[in-house]
Amino acid sequence: MSKPSKKQKGDPDTTGHVWDGIEEFDNPMPRWWLWTLYVCIFWAIAYTIAYPAWPMIKGATPGLLGWSTRGEVQAEIDAVNEGNAAINARLASTELTAIGDDGELNTFAVSSGSAVFLTWCAQCHGSGAAGAKGYPNLLDDDWLWGGDIEAIYLTIAHGIRTEEDDDARYSQMPAYGKDELLETVEITQVVNYVMSLSGAPKDATQVAAGAVIFEENCAACHLENGSGDREQGAPDLTDAIWLYGGDYDTIKSSVDNARFGVMPNWNTRLTEAQVRAVSIYVHQLGGGE
């Protein structure tokens, strides 16, 4: 720093700093700027008193207004629930088959059901409801327990193989291989017959032998023509849709060990309106009957 130049009368105040002859004015801060600063300081102090702010050992000071982010979210949720209370009550009390005719109610059920589906059902059935191996595709026209709105509602409400719900869907298939109810040869024959039902070309003698075994062991549930029985949850073996897969090894595994898919009974976890909403949603995905 070089020396400050001699101060003349009338010169403005300087800070005394000089760089290469350039001096720095010692002007006061503009008044508007200072007042803005004071207002901000006041605001900051008032804010920390009114709202949660200072960190303490257990959480922060609560603030005089009692405001919290959790409380705000809860208030929003309550507001939505309150707003939907009337239509949810209507949804829970309307005849299931009549919901589709009520345009407003149907629209509400579909969008509300979509949210329920993505929250609770998508883990197994997929976000697009296309299912996966062992988890039925809900978009097609093949149903184990029936695809009209009442059957879908019953399945969702009471679940499949749920022990705590007496109305749950139960289907029972013997594990023919594991429990040695059929010889390995017989199982091979019946698998060949089952595959021929949906049009796969198979050895005629195997198929003929398999047909006899099928009639004795399987037709009680799957019916004589193999078209299945929705009353018992027995799948249709003649169509193009296989829940676990339609190749030889998979079908043999199914006959050997039997399959026992499960689904929770949603009536204890969801409200009646939610169960109905998700039933309506599933029904309109493309397979509803």
Partner 1 sequence: MSESEPAPKLFEAREPVFPKRVTGRFRNLKWVLLGSMLGLYYLLPWIRWDRGPNLPDQAILLDLGGRRFYFLMIEIWPHEFYFVAGLLIMAGLGLFLFTSALGRVWCGYACPQTVWTDLFILVERWIEGDRNARLRLHRQKKWDLRKVRLRLTKWFVWLVIGLATGGAWVFYFADAPTLLYDLVHLTAPPVAYITMFVLASFTFFFGGIAREQICIYACPWPRIQAAMMDEETLTVGYRDWRGEPRKRSEEVKAGATQGDCIDCMACVTVCPVGIDIRDGQQLECITCALCIDACDEIMEKTGKPRGLIDYLAVGDEASEKAGNAPRQIWSHILRPRTITYTVLWALVGLGIVFALFIRPDIEMTVAPIRNPTYVTMSDGSIRNTYDVRLRNKTGEPQLFGLSVAGDPTLQVELEGHDKVVVSVPADTSLLQRVYVISSPDSAPSLGEATKFRLWVEDMSTGERAYKDTTFNGKGN
Positions touching partner 1 (CB under 8 A) are 5, 8, 10-12, 23, 25, 100, 126-128, 130, 137, 139-142, 236, 239-241, 284, 286
159 DSSP β-pair partners:
none
By C-beta, is 32 or 54 nearer to partner 1? 32
Q: How far is the CB of 211 from partner 1 (least distance, A)?
A: 22
Pick 142 or 186: Cβ nearer partner 1: 142
Helix (H) / strand (E) containing 90: helix 69-93
CB of 130 to partner 1, least distance (A): 4
Q: Which residue has the tokens 């059929």?
A: 182
Between CA 99 and CA 91 the distance in angstroms is 8
Nearest to 187 by CA among 172, 171, 206: 206
Which residue lies nearer to partner 1 by CB, 12 or 59?
12
Nearest distance, CB of residue 177 and partner 1, angstroms: 27
Which C-beta is closer to partner 1: that of 126 or that of 261? 126
Angstrom CA distances, 116 to 27, 113, 127, stand at: 65, 5, 11
| CA dist., res. 50 & res. 64, Å (int) | 5
Cβ nearer to partner 1, comparing 122 with 181: 122
Q: Which of 47, 11, 34, 276 is nearest to 156 (CA)?
A: 276
CB of 80 to partner 1, least distance (A): 19
CB of 14 to partner 1, least distance (A): 9
d(CA 193, CA 126): 32
